[in-house]
Structure 1
Amino acid sequence: MSEKDTETVVHRLSTIRERLDAGMDRREFVRTLASAGYAVGMAQLLGVDDFLETDDGDVPVVTALARDRTDDPFSLEKRTRTVPAEWYAAVEKAFEVNEILASSRVMGYLGSAVVPGDYRSGTASVTIGVTGDSGFIGDLIGTVSDSLGLEIERFEDEEFETFEEFRDGADRSIRQPRLARDAANGTAPGGVTCETDSTMATLGPAMYDPESGSSFFVTAEHAFDDEATVVGEALTLPTETEESFDLGTVRFDHPIADIVAVEPSGRLDPINRIDTSPPSTITGQYTRWGLADLLARGEPLEKVGAMTGHTTGEIQGIDAVTCFTDNFCRHGQIRWGSEMDLIDGDSGSVSYHPDPEDPEESVLVAGFNNARTWWPGQSYVWGVSAYRVNESLGYHF
């Protein structure tokens, strides 16, 4: 963002606030936000949630999309719970600020994430990673909100190696991959090894496209050779019986989300199950507010990777933006666990949490695990959230 663009953003926000102070009525205020390109949630960002008459007490939020019928993956229904209104306003404010940062393209911006506080605190914060002189970020946040928690982490350019250098020097300690036991039942669960022509990754559970009614195998896009497109590339399933099965070929390639949708060849079918002991059945996925709720309650995420197996870790940030790799930013990311929770071969696995309606046997997916931190000062696994995949690509679990 240029200095002129920065001044424009600050001026627009300041002008709205000034007009409100001058006696703008509620209806005009909402129209002004819309015409300026802001969501109604900007009311909390400007510190005027009382102006919109936010009720005291609790407000309902949609926390998950889950199956109404276990045998029908397309019978998703919204699940809701009530959360404290003060906490909701704080988290909504953080989402709005994070969106402004992500769209600003300010020089030195490396990424940011929303960190909801617990329900009792009624707070939320935004963590921001920057390089060089990016002092304007603090000025911008100070302009639009004096109450939002803000944590800025500064990095020097020389602290970073490239992703290719990190990958080439990554720990490849000898581990036994988790192979599918067999494929006699005609299905392939998530959490086991799958192979491309160049490497191995972790097979995710079945991913569904409601528009076509199709089900797909899914894994990490970066497991394939760097090509303009990997559509048509094959994915196979090695097993403990030393027999390999053709899972299918890539039908849709999504490099920004870092996933591929693999159309089944007909030999094996995708299944909504993760290879745990006992097996975990997937009944749906968490929304953005569902992830915020988990973090507020201190609930961890889990994953089963083909190399590291089952691990558990705390959520460190949601709705995250990651600009550490490539020439674009990845939005809607989850940060959780630590660097130790993911090594080569685990990419493509999903993070999940027990389904509160059937915690012993069922889970809800939080998102994919695509990479881990390799820069100093931070330690977490990151990948695209299931809600982001649903909103931007249409797929669900």
Structure 2
Amino acid sequence: MSESQTERVVQRLATLRDRVETGMDRREFVRTLVSGGFAVGMAQWLGVDDFLAADDGEVPVVTALVRDDPADPWSIRERTRHVPAEWYAAVTKAFELNELLARVAFTGYLGSAVIPGDYESSTATVSVGVSSDGHSLVDMVTDVAEGIDIDTETIIDVEEIQEGPESREPRFADATSDGPVPSGVACETPTSMATLGPALYHPDGQRQFFVTADHAFGERHDSTDDALFLPRQDTDPLELGTVVHYHPLEDVAAVEPNSWVEPASRIDAPSSPRVCGQFTRFGLADLVARGEELEKVGALSGHTTGRIQGIDAVTCFTDDFCRRGQIRWGGEMDLTDGDSGSVSYHSDPQGEEEDVLVAGFNNARTWWPGQSYVWGVGAYRLTEKHGYHF
């Protein structure tokens, strides 16, 4: 086959792939393959061989990274489920539109988020926050929205930080414990208190880390102040390790253990949830479509639950840069100072009763009028950008 013929085949295959994503049913797909002179086996080239095994009007998506063996963090694998093709097409377009808005970063743009509709509606909305001079946005994106609803909201007085909830007593780790340390308890840096997250893993060398919020270490990262401690009631704090990787954009700090104490894939709650993996971006979209809520355990506010308000969000409210891959959920009262570093999670629908999957980190809450949610980086974003997983 000549180079030009190969290019034409690739273009035709790409066109077929686009049609699959926009709702082509299985019978139509097979007919198109045959009439176009392709073998059905070429579906594998398209990455849609699973599509042929699905019911008409459905497509497979990866919803989670889960462990085959809950005790083995390196047994991680992809989990898929079939979703309505029209819903998939709408959510995909919303993700693309959201990314376009973030890239253009027009005057007045303060952030945006994707809100998938339920499966029956097969819709999706992009919620956009703008300053008073950003309303020309709607005219700019209408031509490329292609049926995606755009919900524009003016945000004012972002700089005016309101008082947080009343101070509470922190949740300390068990002072007698000499085993792995669960998440959801207080941890300390030389300058502040935060919440310890569950064990974070990286396949490079099969490394494991303690993890908490980057901002707990202050704006300047000083090598003399990068130790993380575990405060314990009525006894001396325990040094857990030192930060080996700061990720300011994601607001995450990875701490290498330097003692006999290791991080645990457990959350310090009455049911002692066991972390067995994490949700992907489409896994979060699936939760929204089914009206599911997230949970968290913070060192100060304890256990709370709340609905997901937006995914794949872009947040430009607080810094001179924008944060990508954010989750918005719950309300501003679900997080207080000292809860940063906790994770949002949901029960594993295919696991045992104690098994949960991580949605993302909790890093901050809204303090400006008109909006109320917790925001932080999605676990999938950490995997995409840095290779970590839970």
TM-score range, shorter chain: 0.7 to 0.9
Number of the residue aligned with 2:211: 218
Which residue pairs with 1:393 in the alignment? 386
Equivalence map 1:54-203=2 (5 Å): 56-156=56-156, 159-161=157-159, 166=161, 170-171=163-164, 173-203=166-196
- Cα offset, 1:358, TM superposition: 2.5
Change beyond 3 A, Cα 1:229–1:291: farther
Instruction: State the alpha-carbon separation in 2 of the partners of residues 247 and 346 from structure 1.
Output: 18
Alignment partners' CA distance in 1, 2:91 and 2:78? 20
Q: Which runs of 5+ in 2 are unaligned?
A: 1-7, 30-50
Q: Is the 8 A contact 1:323 1:329 kept in 2?
A: yes
Deviation at 1:43? Answer: 9.8
In the alignment, the residues of structure 1 paired with residue 353 and residue 333 of structure 2 have an alpha-carbon distance, to the nearest angstrom, of 26
Q: How many residues get paired?
A: 357
Aligned counterparts of 1:42 and 1:256: Cα–Cα separation in 2: 35
What is the CA–CA distance in structure 1 between the aligned matches of 2:387 and 2:350, rounded to whole Å? 25
CA shift, 1:173, in A, is 2.2
Q: How does 1:221-236 map to 2 (within 5 A)?
A: 221-228=214-221, 233-236=226-229
Q: 1:394 to 1:146 in 2, by over 3 A?
A: closer
Structure 1 residue 267: deviation in Å?
3.0
Quickly say closer, same or farther: Cα 1:379–1:104, change in 2 above 3 A: same
1:377 aligns with 2:375: no
- Within a 5 Å distance, the mapping from 1:308-347 to structure 2 comes to 308-347=301-340
**Matched-pair contact (CA < 8 Å) for 2:23–2:86:** no
Paired with 1:388 and 1:187, the residues of 2 have a C-alpha distance of 26
SS at match of 1:390: helix
Residue in structure 2 matched with residue 16 of structure 1 by the alignment: none
Over the aligned positions, Cα root-mean-square deviation in angstroms equals 2.5
Q: Does structure 1 retain, via aligned residues, the 8 Å contact 2:25–2:57?
A: no
Per-residue CA deviations over 1:102-161 (Å, capped at 9, x if unaligned) read: 1112111100000000001110010000113334421232111341111000124xx222
Deviation at 1:211, TM superposition (A): 1.1
Q: Distance in 2 between matches of 1:316 and 1:135?
A: 22
Counterparts of 2:153 and 2:379, CA distance in 1: 27
Equivalent in the alignment of 1:351: 344
Give the whole-Å Cα distance in 2 for the aligned partners of 1:225 and 1:203: 16
Rate the CA distance shift 1:254–1:41 in 2: closer, same or farther, 3 A: farther
The residue number in structure 2 matching 1:4 is none
Q: Distance in 1 between matches of 2:178 and 2:203?
A: 25
**Cα distance change on mapping 1:230 and 1:51 into 2, 3 Å:** farther
SS in 2 for 1:313: strand
Cα distance change, pair 113–41 in 1 and its aligned pair in 2 (3 A): farther
1:86 Cα deviation after fit? 0.8
Aligned to 2:198: 205
Report the CA distance shift for 1:184/1:373 in structure 2 as closer, same or farther (over 3 A).
same
Structure 1 unaligned blocks of 5 or more? 1-24, 33-39
Q: Secondary structure at the match of 1:175?
A: coil
Listed one character per residue, the Cα deviations across residues 216-235 of structure 1 (whole Å, up to 9, x for unaligned) are 00000111122145686111
CA, structure 1 residues 186+237, in 2 after alignment: closer, same or farther (shift >3 Å)? Answer: same
Deviation of the 1:309 alpha carbon: 0.2
Closer/same/farther in 2, CA of residues 148 and 172 from structure 1, 3 Å limit: closer
Q: Distance in 2 between matches of 1:394 and 1:353?
A: 22
> Structure 1 pair 50/360, CA: closer, same or farther in 2 (3 Å)?
closer
Amino acid at match of 2:361: F
| Inter-CA distance 375–182: structure 2 relative to 1 (3 Å threshold) | same
Task: Compute the displacement of 1:181 (Å).
Answer: 1.4
The residue aligned with 2:360 is: 367
Q: Is the CA contact 1:202–1:219 (under 8 Å) kept in the aligned structure 2?
A: yes
Partners of 1:241 and 1:30 lie apart in 2 by: 66
Q: Take 1:112 and 1:26, find their aligned partners in 2: how far apart are those partners? A: 37
Deviation digits for residues 242-276 of structure 1 (CA, Å, limit 9, x no counterpart): 33111011111111100100010123101111001
Aligned residue type for 1:141? V
1:278 offset after TM fit, Å? Answer: 2.2
2:228 touches 2:242 (CA, 8 Å); kept in 1? yes
2:385 counterpart SS class = helix
C-alpha separation in 2, matches of 1:231 and 1:205 = 25
Check whether the contact 1:298–1:314 (CA below 8 A) recurs between aligned residues. yes
| AA partner of residue 76 (structure 1) | I
Partner SS state of residue 153, structure 1: strand
Provide the rounded CA distance (Å) in 2 between the counterparts of 1:173 and 1:64.
36
Contact persistence 1:224–1:230 (CA under 8 A)? no
SS in 1 for 2:94: helix
